[in-house]
Amino acid sequence: MSNSFIYILNFIIGSIIGSHLLVIVQRFETEDFITDKSHCDNCQIPLTLLNQIPIFSFLRYQGKCFFCHAYIPIETFYCEILGGLAFMPLNPLTNQISYLFIIFIFLISIFDYFDQSFPVQILIPLIAIVGFKISYFISDYTPIEWMLISFVILSFLIMNLKKKFGYGDTIIFIILIFYYNFYIAEYLFLLSSIFLIITHLIAQNKKQYPFIPFIFLSIIFYNFI
Ligand SMILES: [Zn+2]
């Protein structure tokens, strides 16, 4: 398979998954998002296949429902683009687990974006994914590095207690340490903070920002370079 073919296929699959993850978050605990047909939230008319093509359908109908012309949330479009971009650089031949990792991190960031929190059960698959890698890490770090890691995690927990920072963010940081490594996790957090500061500077209405969507953005960025 050529690289460009994999990129395109990854982008298409990622954008479809992105829009479905948003549906899961929007219908969580209210509707059956697995068996229910996709429908417009305003007119409830089930969508045809042509109305469900990621990115294209949104642009084609100018962000409105094909049937009742009600506006579709812009987040649908963002999730389709971000899902596509997040999947694009992944390698289906050498690293299949990265797809699962991206899906669950993405799901958590969408929850965090809307609710400033996420259901803890989503952490279970992530912990299972990193669980495979832990034995490697225990032998890999020097005692000094372990002290550094403990110190950083401890300072995060202190910020959690002072409510400067959510516990979910600390848990995601620990997951990143075990999925990538400590230095990449630090790098991703630094990058997320830069993205957050830029957003804060250009945003019209200053508010509290969920942090995990910025971590997700930095993971996308990191996977491309
Ligand atoms: Zn409609």
What single letter denotes the amino acid at residue 174? I
Greater model confidence, 13 or 73: 13
Residue 68 C-alpha to ligand 1 middle, in angstroms? Answer: 4
For residue 206, pLDDT beyond 70 = no
| Interatomic CA distance for residues 59 and 77, integer angstroms | 9
| Interatomic CA distance for residues 82 and 161, integer angstroms | 32
Residue 139 C-alpha to ligand 1 middle, in angstroms? Answer: 56
Give residue 181's pLDDT. 85
Give residue 88's pLDDT. 93
Q: For residue 46, what pLDDT band results from cuts at 50, 70 and 90? A: confident
Residue 69 C-alpha to ligand 1 middle, in angstroms? Answer: 6
Return all residues near 38 (Cβ < 8 A) that are at least 6 apart.
23, 46, 47, 52
Greater model confidence, 158 or 207: 158
Residue 32 C-alpha to ligand 1 middle, in angstroms? Answer: 19
Give residue 36's pLDDT. 66
Give residue 99's pLDDT. 92
Residue 224 C-alpha to ligand 1 middle, in angstroms? Answer: 37
Give residue 35's pLDDT. 64
- Average pLDDT taken over every residue of the chain: 86
| Interatomic CA distance for residues 39 and 46, integer angstroms | 4
Residue 54 C-alpha to ligand 1 middle, in angstroms? Answer: 17
| Interatomic CA distance for residues 179 and 147, integer angstroms | 19
Using DSSP, state whether 96 is helix, strand or coil.
coil
For residue 12, pLDDT beyond 80 = yes
Residue 47 C-alpha to ligand 1 middle, in angstroms? Answer: 9
pLDDT, tens digit (0-9, with 9 covering 90-100), for 76-120: 999 999 999 999 999 888 888 889 999 999 999 999 999 888 888
Give residue 137's pLDDT. 62
pLDDT, tens digit (0-9, with 9 covering 90-100), for 119-160: 888 899 998 888 877 656 666 788 888 898 899 999 889 888
Residue 22 C-alpha to ligand 1 middle, in angstroms? Answer: 17
Give residue 135's pLDDT. 59
Give residue 166's pLDDT. 81
Residue 67 C-alpha to ligand 1 middle, in angstroms? Answer: 5
